[in-house]
Amino acid sequence: MKCLFFLCLCLFPILVFSSTFTSQNPINLPSESPVPKPVLDTNGKKLNPNSSYRIISTFWGALGGDVYLGKSPNSDAPCPDGVFRYNSDVGPNGTPVRFIPLSTNIFEDQLLNIQFNIPTVKLCVSYTIWKVGNLNAHLKTMLLETGGTLGQTDSSYFKNVKSSKLGYNLLYCPISRPFLCPFCRDENFCAEKGVIIQNGKKGLGLVKQKPLYVLFHEN
């Protein structure tokens, strides 16, 4: 009995210290990082980097129309070098694209390259990769064009950002030299894309309002 009494006396300070430490010095566990959301196609499937997709407008009629590869007005490039949208959803299908992420999957708000997925001669391979061109003084914006390079951080990186109701917007995010983008928002150095009229054609370029919202249909 005496042994049990002395054992209780020995354990009592330890229990008191443990209780005091737990109550006054809680351990703050690191909060979990938000799980990235996959980008989905029109069938609700995750985008696959090995598949190709048509970029389609979320609207119909004159507000609709697929994105396609075409010749830029007054361009002397040896290959089609412009990113355009058809004038209506009643017409040809757009040019299929591949989304090439930095990682193995395609998530919202993560950097990726975009490439028109078409057969082409070696001379025109770079003219399938999207980039943003220099400031166009006449149109007062920066136009989307081809001639980019995979992994080129200053002009060829984009993000798929989800709108709650209107689909996705393909943001332009020049992560290495954001000062080259006067249209980019200060907080994350990204700019929205919208329709810019070029000689009667609906080209895509950086805009400060009325962005283009799109969906992705597996080709």
- The domain 53-218 is placed in CATH, from the list 1.20.1740.10, 3.30.930.10, 2.70.98.10, 2.80.10.50, at 2.80.10.50
56: left (phi over 0), alpha (psi -120 to 50) or beta: beta
Contact (Cβ atoms closer than 8 angstroms) between residue 119 and residue 74 = no
Write the CB contacts of 104 (distance below 8 Å, at least 6 apart in sequence): 49
What per-residue confidence (pLDDT) applies to 114? Answer: 95
Contact (Cβ atoms closer than 8 angstroms) between residue 168 and residue 161 = yes
Q: How far is residue 187 from each of residues 7, 123, 163, 178, 191, measured CA to CA in Å?
A: 62, 38, 18, 11, 11
What per-residue confidence (pLDDT) applies to 158? Answer: 87
Note if the pTM is more than 0.85.
no
What are the 10-residue block averages of pLDDT along the chain, 219 residues in total?
45 44 51 81 95 93 90 92 91 93 88 93 92 88 90 75 83 65 64 89 90 93
What per-residue confidence (pLDDT) applies to 59? Answer: 86
Tokens 């994350």 belong to which residue? 188
